[in-house]
Structure 1
Amino acid sequence: MASLWVDDADTSCIHPGALPLRGTAQVLRSWTVLMANVGYIQFFLTDVEVTTFPRGDAEPTTAVITCTENILSGEGLSSAEAFAGGKAVCTSILVKEHGGWKFWSRHASPIAELHIDDEDSA
């Protein structure tokens, strides 16, 4: 995970429903805790859009990526239930460094899925 993030005091990460984290050490610690406390988690990315800067003929040095994270997890479920899912919308800012593209900022927010019964819509 450390190889994916810029090593800088200004990096930031906001996990769904959490407060902002600042600095690479805090960001990496949050991912370590998240992964250590989840037996199984998988992310399926959809609706991916990428915009790079600067535009034109110059080589891009910054990328803004938006997507939907479709999250599959087995955490906290009985073996009969197997898996549960959720969705988050995510915006990531990556910068190009000598080692390639790295995260500078990431913000994910949960997507509330509303289920309206037919009786409620009448």
Structure 2
Amino acid sequence: MADPEIAAVEAANSRFYNAFETGDLDLMHEVWAGGAFAEGVSCVHPGSPMLRGRDEVLRSWALVMANTPYIQFVLTEVHTEVRGDHAVLTCEENILMADDSENGFLAGGSVVSTNLFVKEEGEWRLWVHHGSPVLGGVEEDDDGQD
């Protein structure tokens, strides 16, 4: 039987990615923790410095979404652990992006993410998001050595 708390965290995580994909700033505001957690909210966009505080983080998402014509995520390697009122979800974001040029240039990439959730007024809210790009790695030789 599936753990209902893990399912609830994964649903909150899905809302986060849905908000980004659809450019829904209102939903993005609902996803992130507030109240007593607002000051500790933090976010690291891939390749960017740490942002701290709910207002700064949400401002950054408004800018990112305003400048992202199309993005789609396929999440893999999702692992979720719940400890009381805190939960950690790690995943690989397999990303497809397009621009708004005439040819609609498409690009893909991968980001590994750690999302920390807290339970706020009975609902799981995102408290920390850290995304790190996965760069083209060194392929292993047949003997398993780099």
TM bucket normalised to smaller: 0.7 to 0.9
- TM-score with structure 2 setting the length: 0.69
Identical counterparts, % of pairs: 43
Q: Which runs of 5+ in 1 are unaligned?
A: 54-59, 117-122
Q: Which has the higher strand share?
A: 1
Q: Which residue of 2 aligns with 1:73?
A: 97
Structure 1 residue 5 corresponds to structure 2 residue 32: yes
Equivalent-residue separation in structure 2 for 1:101 and 1:43 (angstroms): 21
Between 13-22 and 67-76, report the one with greater CA deviation: 67-76
CA-atom RMSD in angstroms: 1.8
Partner of 2:15: none
Large movers: runs of 4+ above 4 Å: none
Which amino acid is the alignment partner of residue 127 of structure 2?
W
Q: 1:39 to 1:115 in 2, by over 3 A?
A: farther
1:96 partnered with 2:126: no
**Structure 1 residues 115, 39: CA separation in 2 closer, same or farther (over 3 Å shift)?**
farther
1:31 aligns with 61
Separation in structure 2 between the aligned mates of residue 77 and residue 114 of structure 1, nearest angstrom: 30
Residue by residue over 1:78-100, the C-alpha shift from the partner in whole angstroms, topping out at 9 and shown as x without a partner, is: 52x64210100000100111151
**Structure having the larger proportion of residues in helix:** 2
Whole-angstrom distance in 2 between the partners of 1:90 and 1:48:
10
For structure 2, the residue ranges without an aligned partner over 5 or more in a row are 1-27, 140-146
Larger radius of gyration: 1
For residue 75 of structure 1, report the CA deviation from its aligned partner: 2.2
Shift of 1:114: 3.6
SS in 1 for 2:117: strand
Letter in 1 for 2:47: G
